[in-house]
Structure 1
Amino acid sequence: MDNIVIKRTASTVPDFQLLITELDADLRRRNGDIMDIYDGHNKLQPLDTAVVIYMNDVPVCCGCFKSYSDDAVEVKRVYVRDEARGKGFSKLLMKELETWATEIGFRKTVLETGSQQQEALGLYTSLGYKRIPNYEPYIGLPDSVCFEKDLL
């Protein structure tokens, strides 16, 4: 049986940074040169609202959020390693991020993903996220798909 640990942490910890490096490589492999546009939007200032999920002491999944408005957070950098996909880690991660956001007083989440990330589109829809018009800085970027969810 797998030992699963969910850890609330910071975006500066090495395990989070390792997974983000893998995420960036995965996005570049999937999307090619269009990532030249998105790379700048994916850079994060240090955040104390990051989550890493471990399976048998190995980091396999991550995500974080940052303040978007007075009552909303923006979910960023959601990633699951290939060997952990299809095991429910993304739903576990999103639940943890949403719970944490509500614990500190936020009422809504927003996020952006790419039109080619079919797994992500399916995940967010299955979790009750509703598509919204693209918000800054994604306005006018045809490969961006933006979502929001009320947490209360």
Structure 2
Amino acid sequence: MIQLYRTNSEHPEFVRLTGLLDDALCMIYNTRKEDYEEYNRITGLPTVVLAMEENVAVACGCFKMAGDSTIELKRMFVDPAFRSQGIASAIVGELEKWAKENDCEHAILETGKGQPEAIALYAKLGYSMADDSDFASSERSVCMKKKL
């Protein structure tokens, strides 16, 4: 049974999963980890959620503050063997709940055009396309937002 666990960005399982995420993104976009390292580096972040199955993390996500009352969802990843089980939705829900506990009102995120499954998931969870060219880090990006 999957259990959600709040932790921080130094947790070894988060570090492991985000390494797998970086590998997956490099395959999708035919890039190198170094190309996006400045955007993907997460350290000292106290707002990480892991999905655990028998003491092994199978998915992760986190958020960082992107303004006084806005969070940015970051580093969402589900091990391919555990996809299509609602784990990503549960992690997003837990991150949003955590943000609301800290009086946050909005969530934003950036994903890639090469990840249609992620775009569809976020749309299903109430996120809409954001027209914010300052937020997009590249032409490959899709930015989305939601009122919490």
Which of 125, 140, 144 is the equivalent residue of 2:141? 144
Partner of 1:128: 126
Partner of 2:104: 106
The answer to whether the 8 A contact 2:129-2:142 is kept is yes
Q: Distance in 1 between matches of 2:133 and 2:71?
A: 13
Cα 1:34–1:20 shift into 2, 3 Å: closer
Spell out, residue by residue over 1:97-134, the C-alpha distance to the aligned partner (whole angstroms, 9 max, x if none): 00000001101100000000111001000001010124
What amino acid is aligned across from residue 103 of structure 1 in structure 2? E
State the partner residue of 1:45. 43
Count of equivalent residues = 148
Question: How far is 1:38 from its partner?
Answer: 2.9
Q: Whole-Å Cα distance in 2 between the matches of residues 136 and 60 of structure 1?
A: 32
8 Å contact kept, 2:69–2:103:
yes
Calculate the TM-score normalised by the size of structure 1: 0.91
Alignment of 1:41-120 (within 5 A): 41-120=39-118
Q: Does 1:21 align with 2:19?
A: yes
CA distance in 2, matches of 1:127, 1:34: 30
In 2, Cα distance between the equivalents of 1:19 and 1:35?
Answer: 14
CA RMSD after TM alignment: 1.5
Q: 1:143 to 1:63 in 2, by over 3 A?
A: same
| Per-residue CA distance 1:23-80 (angstroms, 9 max, x = gap) | 0001001111276543321112310000000122221010000000111000000000
Q: Partner residue of 1:12?
A: 10
Structure 1 unaligned segments of length 5 or more: list them.
none
Instruction: Report if the CA contact (8 A) 1:41-1:137 is conserved.
Output: no
